[in-house]
Structure 1
């Protein structure tokens, strides 16, 4: 048996129209909520990546301070020039620890930080600590300066800078990717809002048309027929016969009324 809209009760027609509008609204809201979550999540991770980059800058700056302090000590022989070296040592340890805590969920970055730490330890033990020790004795100060000019320290620092640049490049790649995801989410949210508004307008128009054709128009037709019957126009056709909703029940009642009028007129004529 084929389904006909006229078989639905009036309450069901109204409920169906409202349910469709609600479904469209919920769909638009769900998509917008998901896009908002994406934007918020990418924003949070952007802040995280920028903090990693700032911490990495502190790591590199600490090593530069240590290198500068060591070079100043080797050139002057004054122990006061080692103050930046000592301060940089503490700053490097704190910044490296912070960088590791920020990238604990990124094994690749942790591996790069471990490599950076090994380079720092190699520079400290093989170049810095050795040079400071040699500078402590007048007889070996020339050897300490030759160690600095040999390029051993520069090689270690160049490796450390290259490692830090690789870590920074990885974080910038993440920033770029998340920026693209955020932009896509914003664009999708805009499209969803516009499309959702259009669908809701169309749904509202369709619901009004449904209510007009399924309820208002049949009731007006029924009212017109009852007026004609009241004026003794017994040839008026009763609309809505055969419907299974309230309009059909009204039509059957009016048809009974019409049949009664026809029988009464026949009796009067007899």
Structure 2
């Protein structure tokens, strides 16, 4: 057994027996016989250095616990507790036998059925609308075709001023029209009362005249109205006396009904104007 001197200069044996705090690596032991004044100075020294130390006395053995020792111990306990919590959660998840219920399945199926029904209704509505538009286009085209006029017979120029270029002039243009096979009725009220529905235009290389005067007569008529029905014939007399239409002049007459195609008559006057001219 070794001896050591204390602060008073006396020899005291040092006990190397096993202390109560043996086995704790982060605790530094001090002698059992310590000068109280120096112990107080040792306690105040960490505060002066800006560190926090804890002085403990275990069975007369005074030691100190450094800050990093306490943090290390706390971190180790926290890590152990966190790992244990994760393991417990994993075990509970593996033991969980919960699944989808019949009610939840029914709700999902109903949602799918509703979405499919809405989609089908949208598609069917779009298809119906497209079909209706197609029908309207077809009917409109049929009306245009069925309401067309067609020329029947020759085109004649009558009541003319006989003569050559500079003296001969055409007064009236006469032709016969009928409705196309299976066509709808066309109103041929003339311009005598200013209530005509059909417009006739005249044009040549020098002039253009819209809505010229014309009259109608009925070689074949099945009723007393002015509608041109299927099987009827109407003779139209167009007044060209103000057009100064002389010899060797190309000209055109356009007959425009309210519906249907436009009937165009293109002719050229001869070199000599007779009283009656057949343009064949």
Question: Normalised by the size of structure 1, how large is the TM-score?
Answer: 0.30
* Structure with the largest fraction of strand: 2
**Larger helix fraction of residues:** 1
RCO higher in structure (CA 8 A, sep ≥6): 1
Q: TM-score, normalised by structure 2?
A: 0.29
